[in-house]
Amino acid sequence: MRVEITASALGAIRAAAGAAQPNECCGLLIGRRDSAICRITRAVAAANVADDPARRFEVDPVVLLATHRLARDAGEAVIGPYHSHPGGAAEPSATDLARARDGAAAGDVWVIVGGGAMRATLVRAYAFDGNAFAEAELAEVPES
């Protein structure tokens, strides 16, 4: 799958990851998708309400509900979550996979920001098929 993301949405995600350090940031991706291409037009930041926000993320449920309504009213959809790994790689953790599978953190496309001095700006996208993550091509595109 190819994931296109607007420059403003990608910038918002990078900024949120930096601002949340040393905790994980989190939020939701709004856009449209078909079988081959997903286009993310907006990133909506949410408070990370996890018990251990340095190691896990949980999107504020109030924001989750409001964002679904916002997306629907715009004729778009909530594509999935984004979050950061302040000290880890930009790839799904075992916890992420478990929560994707049981629906605790649902989404067709996940965006993850890596951490650490050498990887501070690395952002990757993953498609989730209901069972496993597969890395997707992430392309920054102009605003539509």
Q: Binding residues for Zn ion, per CB under 5 A? A: 93, 96
Q: Smaller CB distance to Zn ion: residue 21 or 93? A: 93
Q: Taking the complex as a whole, how short is the minimal distance between the CB of residue 105 and Zn ion, in angstroms?
A: 9
Q: Taking the complex as a whole, how short is the minimal distance between the CB of residue 85 and Zn ion, in angstroms?
A: 5
Q: Which two tokens stand for residue 92?
A: 């799904």
| 3: nearest Cα among 25, 35, 26 | 35
| Residue closest to Zn ion (Cβ) | 96
Secondary structure letter of residue 48 according to DSSP: B
Q: Taking the complex as a whole, how short is the minimal distance between the CB of residue 121 and Zn ion, in angstroms?
A: 17
Q: Smaller CB distance to Zn ion: residue 68 or 93? A: 93
Q: Taking the complex as a whole, how short is the minimal distance between the CB of residue 93 and Zn ion, in angstroms?
A: 5
Q: Taking the complex as a whole, how short is the minimal distance between the CB of residue 140 and Zn ion, in angstroms?
A: 22
Q: Which two tokens stand for residue 29?
A: 């991706």
* Beta-bridge mates of residue 83: 26, 112
Distance between CA atoms of 141 and 73, rounded to whole angstroms?
23
Q: Smaller CB distance to Zn ion: residue 1 or 113? A: 113
Q: Smaller CB distance to Zn ion: residue 12 or 50? A: 50
Q: Which residues contact 9 (CB under 8 A, 6 or more apart)?
A: 29, 40, 41, 42, 43
Distance between CA atoms of 100 and 118, rounded to whole angstroms?
27
Q: Smaller CB distance to Zn ion: residue 4 or 58? A: 58
Q: Which two tokens stand for residue 91?
A: 């790839």
The distance of Cα 140 from the centroid of its chain, to the nearest Å, equals 15
